[in-house]
Amino acid sequence: MPNYQKAKFSCYFTYLALSSVFCLPPMLFVTFREMYGISYTLLGTLVLINFCTQLVVDLVFSFFGKYFNIHKTIRIMPLITAAGMTVYALVPMLMPQYAYAGLVAGTFIFSVAAGLSEVLLSPLIAAIPSKTPDRDMSLLHSLYAYGVLTVVLISTVFLQIFGRENWMYLTLGLAVLPIICCVLFCTSTLPPMELSHSTGEQTAKKRTTGLALCALCIFLGGAAENTMTNWISSYLENVLRISKTLCDIIGLALFAVLLGVGRTWYAKRGKNIYRVLVFGMVGAVVCYLVAALSPIAALSLLGCVLTGICTSMLWPGTLILMEERIPGVGVTAYALMAAAGDFGSSVAPQLHGMVVDSVSVSRWASQMGEALSISSEQVGMKLGMLIAALFPLLGVVVLMILKRKLPPR
C-alpha cells in the first residue's frame, strides 16, 4: 500500500498556511479605512468577493469537476494563493490611488485558491485510508484555527513594531507559505479521488433531501462562524473601545484558540456529532446576544470570544454528519457543501457591514445612541450582531428537521 503520510501532512500544513487568506484582511479593515478612506460597506464587499468567488469555484467543481485533473489542481492551488496575496499587497503600495481596485483583484485571485482548498482538501483527507476518518477531518479543520492564531500573533507584533502603514510587507511575507505548500504537494504521493459515488442504500430522493439539509446547515454554520471572524476586531475596537493590538490578541486570537480547541477536542475524544452541532448552534445564539446586548464590556468581549468554541464544529461537523448519514459521497458532494458554506460566509459578513453603514446614518440610531450614551455607529454594530444571531437560531431548526429526515444508519 502506498504511503500517504506526507500527503496527509501536506494537507494539514496547507490548511494551516492558507488561514492567512481568511484572517489577515479583516484585521486590516480599520487600517484600510484610515489609509484609503474605504467605507464599511466596501470592506464588507471584500468579504463578499472572497466568499462569492469561492462559491463560484465550488459550483464549477460541482458540475464540471470531471474536466479537471484533481491532483494537478491540488498542486498548483497554493501558487494561486501566493499570486493573489502579492497583487493584494503591491497594487496599494505602488498605486495607492487604485488601492481598492488592487484589494479587489488580489482578493479575487487568492479566493479562487481558497475555494479549491475547501473543495479538495477535505475529500483528500477522506480518501487517505484511516481508522478514524472523522477525527482526521476534525483535526484538519482545527489547523485552520491554529493558523489564524499564528497569523494574528505575527501580524500584531509586526504592525506594532513597524506600523500599520507597512501592512503590505507583512502580506508579502505570508505569501511565501503557499509556495512551501506547493513544494510539499509536488513531492507527495496523493491517493485516488472519486468525483462521486453511487449507492443503492438510499433512494435518490432521500439522498437529495439529505444533501440539501446538510448544505443548509453548513450555510448557517458558515454564517455564524464567519460573521464574528470578520468583524470581531472592528467590533471590539469601535464598540468596546479596546486598542487595535488588544482587539487582535484578546479578541481574534482567543476566538481562534477556542475555534481550534473545539475541533481538536473532537479529533481526540469526539462522538455524537449531531449533539455537538446542536450545542454549537444554541451556544452561538447565546454568544451573539450577549455580545450585542450586554452593557458590561467584559461580558460583551466574552460573548464574542466564546463564539469561537460554539461555532468550531459547525462546518467540519456538518461534513462528518454528511459522511455518517449519506453513504458514498465524493468530491462533488464536498464541493456542494463548500459552496453552501461559502455562500453563508459571504452573505452574513456583508449583511453586517450594510447594517452598520445604513443604521449609523439614521435618525433612529442617533436617538438610540443618545439614550444609551453611545455613538450611532456603535448602535449599528450592535444591531448587526443581533441579526447575526438569527443564523445559528435557524440552524437549530434545520438540525431538528435533519434528524427526522436522516436518522442514523
DSSP H or E segment with residue 407: none
Percent of the chain with pLDDT over 70: 93
Domains of the chain: 10-187+201-405 (1.20.1250.20)
For residues 74 and 120, is the Cβ–Cβ distance under 8 A?
yes
What is the rounded CA–CA span in Å between residue 30 and residue 181? 30
- Asked if residues 16 and 146 have their Cβ atoms less than 8 Å apart, the reply is yes
Q: Would you say 336 and 57 are in contact if contact means Cβ atoms under 8 Å apart?
A: no
How far apart CA 247 and CA 232 sit, in angstroms, is 8
Q: DSSP letter at 327?
A: T
Could you tell me the three cell numbers for 229? 471572524
pLDDT digits (tens, 9 = 90+) for 269-327: 778 899 999 999 999 999 999 999 988 888 888 999 999 999 999 999 999 898 888 87
Per-residue pLDDT of the chain (409 residues; tens, 9 = 90+): 577 889 999 999 998 888 777 778 877 877 888 888 888 778 878 877 887 888 788 888 777 777 788 899 999 999 999 999 999 999 988 888 889 999 999 999 999 998 888 888 888 888 888 887 778 888 888 888 788 788 878 888 898 899 888 999 999 999 999 999 999 999 988 888 766 555 554 456 677 788 899 999 999 999 999 899 888 877 887 777 776 666 666 777 788 889 889 998 888 877 889 999 999 999 999 999 999 998 888 888 899 999 999 999 999 999 989 888 887 667 778 888 888 888 888 788 888 888 888 888 888 888 888 888 888 878 888 898 999 999 999 999 999 999 888 777 6
SS3 label, residue 147: helix
Position 253: which residue type? A
